[in-house]
Structure 1
Amino acid sequence: MKLANLARPASTALFSGLLSLACLLTPAASQAERLKDLTSIQGVRQNQLIGYGLVVGLDGSGDQTTQTPFTVQSVASMLQQLGVNLPPGTTLQLKNVAAVVVTSSLAPFAQPGQTMDVTVSSMGNAKSLRGGTLLMTPLKGADGQIYGMAQGSVVVGGVGAAAGGSKTQVNHLSVGRISAGATIERALPTALGQGNVVLLELKDSDFSTASRVVDAINRRFGSATAQAQDGRVIRVQAPENSGERVAFLGALENISVTPDQASAKVILNARTGSIVMNQAVTLDACAVAHGNLSVVISTEPVISQPAPFSGGQTVVGQRSQIDINKESGQLLLLKGGASLADVVKALNAIGATPQDLLAILQAMKAAGSLRAELEII
């Protein structure tokens, strides 16, 4: 086994791209950010809406009604509401209709009469929604109340064609979007604080950042204006008058605060072998042995043919050969690193594949050498 050290030149360029990216993304010092980017105001949030509707006008690319009976039921119910009664026992064979689910988000402080974008997704076996028109669809919230009505032409960002058994498709055809396709019919009350108190919530819980936010607010508006309840929620004294409160929150959002350095974290994607680390990851001194064992089995046909006029028969057999190859293990001494660049260099010196590095990083974490939180996605 060979004993190497971190100063030895890297044998592969596996992490050269990651190293370059790390050098570009690692700041020399933390930069100040606005409270608008670091926090949100409790109670100011979006609300998801959902609805079920029909898309018509498709050029033969709608649901196959024999396999999606709910589409036929929806069409029959719609026609009945419009005053059209179908004879009993009528079987509809529709090709230009598709059942869809319509989704959207109700923005905070949205008022009746305003519009919002909607996404239309096929829930049956329609081949394409391209060129279709969404019929009037009520959009409901989690409480079952109707907050919007959607209708309009569906725009699909894809195209497809099929002929003679051949098929081609670009992008996705069963999902579309309607810009300003829904009208808000009901406003949702938004509680902007209680009394003279507004609660700020950090997007990432951190006690150090919360303390810095409190100090910055108190310097700007006076002592005792803000007080941290925990590592995420900050209690702020605000004017009770609505006009003064809006101006106060506008000034509050533009206060600059330098957030504390994020905790060390390594994200591992087991499916793709991707590894992403932040600048806080450090590595304690450790030794890593890396080697691969490969087993190769090859089989070749062997033909045994008898001599002429011997009366024998030709026999076909197989001959197998098994080769076991074990690469020479390499024991590398990785010195403690104080930055992301040092960690990347250490991993690059091992010469392992991304899949191997998943196991190596987990072993380093278990041994206490990797000073970071491992998260596998």
Structure 2
Amino acid sequence: MKSSKPIRRVSAACLLAVPLALSGCGLFGSESASIDPPPSAMEAQMLEVSGTPVEDAGVLGPVTLDGTESVATVLPPSGLAAGVQTTVFLKDGNGLLAPVSLSLPKGEKNAVLKDSLTALISKGAYAKSLPEGFTGVLPAGTEVESVTVDASKLAVVEFNAEFADYDPASERSILEAITWTLTGQEGIQGVQLWVDGKKLTEMPLQGIPLDRALTRSMGINLPKQGPLLSSSTAVTVFFSATSPQGLPYYVPVTRYVPAGEEQLKAALNELIVGPEEGDGLEMVMTQDTQLESVEAGQNGVVTVALKDDMFADAKDVPEELLESVVLTIAQNTDDSMVQIRLNGKETVISSNNVDYGKPVSAPEFVNELSL
């Protein structure tokens, strides 16, 4: 059944804006979007290393018709100098993890990695710099003792003992926030956790196994109910939500589809199905959207053909619809560029005046939210 949530016709901004630090978020600990942990057999499989994980975004953003980039620049908070832009995963008002871009103090790479995790700490050093409606998922009092990256692209993170002082219901969301924040950085494919000088083989409270490196194959924002992993394949898609300030932002959600389905088609069909009822996410497609084809060209550009009579002329198409397609394709490929065909037309103009009929890539920094 498709969600009956209406699609928003007008969008506020291309992505969203926030400098300085932000934090990770929860799947299980949310009051508004409580998600049961997967069965132990599924959990073990999801935490296995499954090869190189897909990393965030390409290097090019959508371009407006006048040739300028559509992502706005936002100044950092008063008294804070602009630094290194990065993306961290924070808990939004619906209890879901969302990527948020921020500007961290400049420094060598390991220092920036430490800061990105520090931004995930509830009531931590960056808590006052978070955008409204977003919070950190790591327990208050947590300290990031060190982050090192070895030759195998494994990030080894050591926390102090307060890391274990969390709500048991938030255990999986903590792992997701850490893993997706670090693996979004160039040169990191997996994560290993240490606490107080000891390597963790399982999480302290719920016992989620940590005997293998954490990668994005673990998924994010899991469905409340889903098929067993042994008979299905995981895909991650992007829906939209609205911040307390009325700005749209994008949220990744892992869905399970029947094993053997073509991955990109399956992912885009999940966009058409829409978000789960009550999770606070919004439809990005209309209930009449149809996926006609998905083709990868020799030049690496993926062409997505859609049909939707609501946008017969392929003009003033909601940005959220088109951007969610681009983000979803990028997440399920090696950051492929995307061009969209709508109702057979090769020029597809979004509500923010971007031509998605031409090849575009996902933005390097998703969800730049203002404070």
**TM-score, length-normalised on structure 2?**
0.21
Whichever structure has more strand as a proportion of its residues is: 1
| Higher relative contact order structure (alpha carbons within 8 Å, sequence separation ≥ 6) | 2
TM-score by length of 1: 0.20
Structure with max Cα Rg:
1
